[in-house]
Structure 1
Amino acid sequence: MEEKFVPIASKIGAQRHLIAIRDAFMVTMPLMILGALAVMFNNLPIDAFQNAMNTVFGGEAWKGFGGSVWSGTFAILSVLIAFLVAYNLAHGYGKDGLAAGAVSLGAFFALGGALGMSSNGLFIAIIVALISTEIFVRLIGNDKLVIKMPDGVPPAVARSFAALLPAMIVISLFGLVAAIFAAFGITDIIGSFYAAVQEPFMGLANSYPSALLIAFITPFLWFFGLHGANMIDPFLQTINAPAIEANLAAVTAGKAAPYIVNKPFIDSFVNLGGTGATFGLIIAIFLVGRKHKAYNVVNNLSMAPGLFNINEPMLFGLPIVLNPIMFIPFILAPMTLVTTAYWATRLGLVPVATVMPPWVTPPILGGFLATQSFSGAILAAVNLVISVAIYAPFVRIGVLQELKREQSL
């Protein structure tokens, strides 16, 4: 695995296009959290709260706050991604990121971006950003397309003229593509793409096997010292944001939320304490691993960060990385937790996660906030107990082996 798999996975993790997508979504994460919280505020399922707000404001005018916040977050998500992905990718090539981002925005709207500014246009925004930037960075490096300004011209003006012809070419190309599609009767490229590709893909990713794969692949990569979450995040975010928005829209309309598997589902019910549900490991060490001093020291250092889903001290301190004893529970725990959470939600025991709490929200509290229900908190608590039960025997084995090794020295 070290000779064959790890080098390939490392190259994937360092791939500039995936890094550009990942970093773009990192920037938009606070906006998605805020947008989800605003919608939760508007649709809080507590009759007393709704009646009180309607009485104070003389109707539902108070919901304009949440609507306005949504307009500044989810409603412009695709536009932000179109700019940020291009900006980051151009930086990866050592080119002008601002110019590339502006060109990507122009190309996105030339293709029909005004019809897909929300997360419905997310796939198209990413594709446009990647393709437009690849073309732009090659054209801007061509001396024949550079309008050179005389000495003494401010650098910002010189850069804008250097990017003028490449920008015109790129945006015109995407405008030509839109015209060709329109000639075949497709005037809404983004809507057609969403219906034909993005929506079915989201449905596929919402299945139980997909949830198991997500629960497996992240800890599997972490076991080899690779940041699993960062590596698969570009793929997950392309389905996560539209799924959350679709859930919010369904709840607002009084319908059932359609997508079980999304980021708040994984964060609140599976990654309890971080990848691998390591807060269960912390509790297991406290219960059955106290005979070993090193385990206790690492555990004490990991407890506070682990409460907020930061588990690097445990991953590298115990360690879990390249530790064959911990490999099985580190993989088994999240796959078991995703199973209980998925079927509890599918069977209607727990509401679908529609709100995205910050990923540092402590276990159990995150389950309550994500589902706006105490049953979500109960499910998270049950999953935490399950993770402790899975880790406990392996902690015991690890402690016994360490004690034997120390005695033999």
Structure 2
Amino acid sequence: MKHFIAFMEKYFLPVASKIGNQRHLVAVRDAFAYTMPLMILGAFAVLINNLPIPGFQDFMNGVFSEKIGGSYVWTLLGGNIWNGTFAVLSLFIAFLVAYNLATSYHVDGISAGIISLGSFFVVGGAQGMDSAGLFVALIVGLLSAEIFRRLSNVDKFEIKMPDGVPPAVARSFAALLPAIFTITIFGFVTMLLNAMHIENVVTAFYKAVQQPFMGMANTYPTALLIAFITPFLWFFGLHGANMIEPFMQTINAPAIQANAAALKAGKPIPYVVNKPFMDSFVNLGGTGVTIGLIIAIFIIGRRNKPYMSVASLAAAPGIFNINEPLAFGLPIVLNPILFVPYILAPMISVSIAYFATVSGFMPACSNMPPWVTPPIIGAVIATASWQGGVIAAINIVVSAVIYAPFVYMSTAMETRRDKKQAAKEATA
């Protein structure tokens, strides 16, 4: 194990650190972080309109019997909230990705974001403002920001205003020519694609790339890979969840929206693997299903004073899926004893939850509770079913069993160290 850790520190850690700090990935990750409240709100709006409680729909339709445009009036609140969240998600991402990337270069982020929005509509964004246009929004945001940055650094393209002009006006004129050229480039590329009989870039890209990508990410092997990568990165002190967040978010929003639409239409929910699936059944207590580690320490590791001290402090944040105190306090990071259960527990948990879903025991996740929602409660909300809570509880128990022998091993080693220390002090 020492040789393995030394090898990974020498060859893997530097590369992974560069990837984790790569400005384009950080721009994408932070853009989705900004939109998370809206995505959660939109998911809850869909849940309220389609709450799977027997008699709920009939009761609400009876109380609020008036219809507007073919829909019961009480459903309009959820529908209107959806229009302001999921229905325009790609617009937010197009702006925020360009804004974050330009800001990282110390270029005017607001101008870059506005130019990205314009470029997105130039390529046909009006037909893909919801999650269907997410991939194109990401690409447009990154490319437009890069083009705008490079053109902004050309002195001949900068229109300088005299002193005394309001800063906002000066910035807008400074960005005028770079904006014109950037949006024109996207317009020219779109024209060429239209000439190739691609009527709408967004819808064509969605059918060609995004849908197959979502299908691939919905498979059991990919779910296992995601469950493996995050704790593996964390073991070496890298924030695994943040590093794979751009990948997860590109499949998360479309999958949630598709699941919610299927639920509303009374059809089978198509996508098993999405962010609430990972949060509610795999990241229980935090990456590595560490709620099970805390339980194992309280049951088996009571004689391990260092473990008990850290577990006592980590229990409260662990209930809200925050496990940094454990990761760096025990520590889990670069701890060869905990490496195996830290990797194995989430992979077993994702397997249990995946097959419980595909077998029909519990519904797929169609709602997105905040990631800090306590275990079991989050699973009930995500699946809108009591079965989800049962599977989450099973995963907690299984993870505690997986961690137990390794906690026992650590406790035995700590006990031997204490006895040796006591013997040394007695003979001193």
| TM-score normalised by the chain length of structure 2 | 0.95
Q: Give CA-to-partner distance per residue, 1:81-104, whole Å, 9 cap, x none.
A: 000000000011011000100010
2:32 counterpart residue number: 25
User: Of the candidates 5, 10, 22, which is equivalent to residue 17 of structure 2?
Assistant: 10
Instruction: String of CA shifts for 1:283-303, please: whole Å, max 9, x gaps.
Output: 000000001211111011000
1:84 aligns to 2:100 (yes or no): no
The one-letter code matched in structure 1 to 2:36 is M
Q: 2:156 aligns with which of 138, 141, 144?
A: 144
* Stretch deviating more after TM superposition (48-57 or 73-82): 48-57
2-side partners of 1:333 and 1:171: how far apart?
49
Corresponding residue to 1:371 among 383, 395, 398: 383
Which residue matches 1:303? 315
Once residues 418 and 32 of structure 2 are traced to their aligned partners in structure 1, the CA distance between those partners, rounded to angstroms, is: 46
Per-residue deviation, 1:250: 1.1
State the alpha-carbon separation in 1 of the partners of residues 314 and 332 from structure 2. Answer: 13
Equivalents in 1 of 2:210, 2:40: separation in Å?
A: 22
Q: CA deviation at 1:223?
A: 0.2
| C-alpha distance in structure 1 between counterparts of 2:391 and 2:200, whole Å | 42
In 1, Cα distance between equivalents of 2:367 and 2:39: 9
Q: How does 1:311-390 map to 2 (within 5 A)?
A: 311-390=323-402
1:214 and 2:221 are equivalent in the alignment: no
1:392 to 404, 409, 412: 404
For the pair 1:282 / 2:282, whether they are aligned, the reply is no
Name the aligned partner's letter for residue 273 of structure 1: G
Q: Could you list the runs of 4 or more consecutive aligned residues of structure 1 that deviate by over 4 angstroms after TM superposition?
A: none
Of 102, 105, 123, the match for 1:93: 105
The counterpart of 2:44, out of the listed 13, 37, 50, is 37
Among candidates 151, 163, 172, match of residue 184 of structure 2: 172
Is 1:129 aligned with 2:141?
yes
Shift of 1:186: 1.2
Shift of 1:282: 0.4
Q: Tell me how far apart the structure 1 counterparts of residues 389 and 181 of structure 2 sit (CA, whole Å).
A: 54
Classify the secondary structure of the residue corresponding to 1:3: helix
**Partner-residue secondary structure (3-state), 1:225:** coil
Output one character per residue of 1:266-319: Cα deviation in whole Å (capped at 9) or x when no partner: 011111100000000000000000012111110110000000000000111111
Cα RMSD, aligned residues only: 0.8
Distance in 2 (CA, whole Å) between partners of 1:407 and 1:89 is: 56
Deviation at 1:155, TM superposition (A): 1.6
For residue 349 of structure 1, give the secondary structure of its aligned residue in structure 2.
coil
**What is the aligned partner in structure 1 of residue 425 from structure 2?**
none
Structure 1 residues 388-407: Cα deviation after superposition (integer angstroms, max 9, x where no partner): 10001000001111221233
Query: Which has the larger displacement, 185-194 or 84-93?
Result: 185-194
Name the structure 2 match of 1:56: 63
The 3-state SS of whatever aligns with 2:10 is coil
Aligned to 1:252: 264
- Structure 1 CA distance, aligned partners of 2:32 and 2:170? 31
Residue aligning to 1:231? 243
Q: Deviations over 1:310-364 (max 9, x none)?
A: 0000111111000000000000000000001101101111101100000001111
CA distance in 1: counterparts of 2:179 and 2:415, whole angstroms: 66
Q: Which residue of 1 aligns with 2:417?
A: 405
Amino acid at match of 1:46: I
Cα shift at 1:380? 0.5
> In the alignment, residue 44 of structure 2 is paired with which amino acid?
L
AA of the residue aligned to 1:38: A
Q: Which residue of 2 aligns with 1:271?
A: 283
Tell me if 1:155 matches 2:162: no
How many residues align structurally?
A: 409
Residue 47 of structure 1 aligns to a residue whose secondary structure is coil
Displacement of 1:51 in angstroms is 1.7
> Which residue identity lines up with residue 54 of structure 1 in the other structure?
N
- Residue 183 of structure 1 and its aligned partner are, at CA, apart by 1.4
Give the Cα–Cα distance (whole angstroms) in 1 for the partners of residues 238 and 196 of structure 2: 46
Quote the Cα distance in structure 2 between the aligned partners of 1:215 and 1:126: 25
Deviates more, 1:145-154 or 1:343-352: 145-154
Q: Deviations over 1:227-280 (max 9, x none)?
A: 000001011101111111111111111111110000111011111100000000
Alpha-carbon shift at residue 38 of structure 1 (Å): 0.3
Shift of residue 56 of structure 1? 1.3
SS of the residue 2:280 aligns to: helix
TM-score by length of 1: 0.99
* Structure 1 equivalent of residue 215 of structure 2: 203
C-alpha distance in 2, partners of 1:348/1:162? 58
Moved more, 176-185 or 127-136: 176-185
